[in-house]
Structure 1
């Protein structure tokens, strides 16, 4: 297990950042959605209910279409190459590969 974590630490780090961004978007989107609901005379909803709405799906898709999707292939390729020891990558211990 320790070896698995060490060998995939960069991927796990980026996955954690992605999940945190998604959770942050859920809370921010829910607050905005509830504000609009109250202005229109509707009832506020919970974060869990908001995540199941099309409003959340549309907002996530719009964000992914912008900068996230443009850089996702580059980030994934870099992570994969570094973790697999690509000859073009620097050694993770600081030296160059021979």
Structure 2
């Protein structure tokens, strides 16, 4: 922006984030409304009274379905951030160079425009140097627990509807129902990461920072 002398509106400067957060909230609301109807239909078919919407938002059915997806996404991001430090894929736009140091590898240098943590140095800088992976790992662990908690609660509701005994939280951690929910999401995330790593070797999208230049050789690594 400083180089061109142009000024841009707040929306334009943040349009990518605004767009995806808008989609997130729209689809989360749609999920809540449709899940609310599905769960109440199941309860009524079993001869139980329906929940109101606010109660549903605190139910295991909603919590499990929501954080089951959050969990797999944050796992994907955490692994991607960490593994791309050392692992390589020749020709991929998503990989660092096979043998050259890149800007992301250099040690931080204090400057007027450097982030506050860089200026502070010491342990604050050590944490900041790994803050992206710490953030995603923390979000993954929180989401994993909430998925587990919600799945456990929802499973016990289903057990009650069938007049079967409930399981304790400790017993449920070994329940195949929970791990089935977990692995069906994890495997899709691993496939999506593998796909973008591999397909960017050969395929292009002009104008996208996730692609190599259209005329770049297939075996040229990085963007």
Which category of TM-score, normalised to the shorter sequence, fits these structures?
Answer: 0.5 to 0.7
Taking the aligned partners of 1:72 and 1:38, their CA distance within structure 2 comes to 41
Residue 157 (structure 2) pairs with residue 51 (structure 1): no
Residue 117 (structure 2) pairs with residue 8 (structure 1): no
Residue 182 (structure 2) pairs with residue 60 (structure 1): yes
Count of residues in Structure 1 that have an aligned counterpart in Structure 2: 75
Residue ranges of structure 1 left out of the alignment (5+ in a row): 75-87, 89-98
Going from structure 1 to structure 2, the CA distance change for 1:4 and 1:72 (only over 3 Å counts) comes to farther
Pick the aligned partner of 1:32 from 150, 154, 171. Answer: 154
Q: Secondary structure at the match of 2:159?
A: helix
Shift of 1:73: 8.9
Superposed CA offset, 1:42-81 (max 9, x none)? 2112323212211111110012123x3324897xxxxxxx
Pick the aligned partner of 1:22 from 107, 123, 144. Answer: 144
Return the structure number with greater relative CO, CA threshold 8 A, min gap 6. 2
TM-score (normalised: structure 2): 0.30
Query: Which moved further from structure 2: 54-63 or 7-16?
Result: 54-63
Query: Which of the two has greater helix per residue?
Result: 1
Going from structure 1 to structure 2, the CA distance change for 1:9 and 1:30 (only over 3 Å counts) comes to same
Going from structure 1 to structure 2, the CA distance change for 1:52 and 1:72 (only over 3 Å counts) comes to farther
Residue ranges of structure 2 left out of the alignment (5+ in a row): 1-122, 197-221
Superposed CA offset, 1:24-53 (max 9, x none)? 110111112101211222211232321221
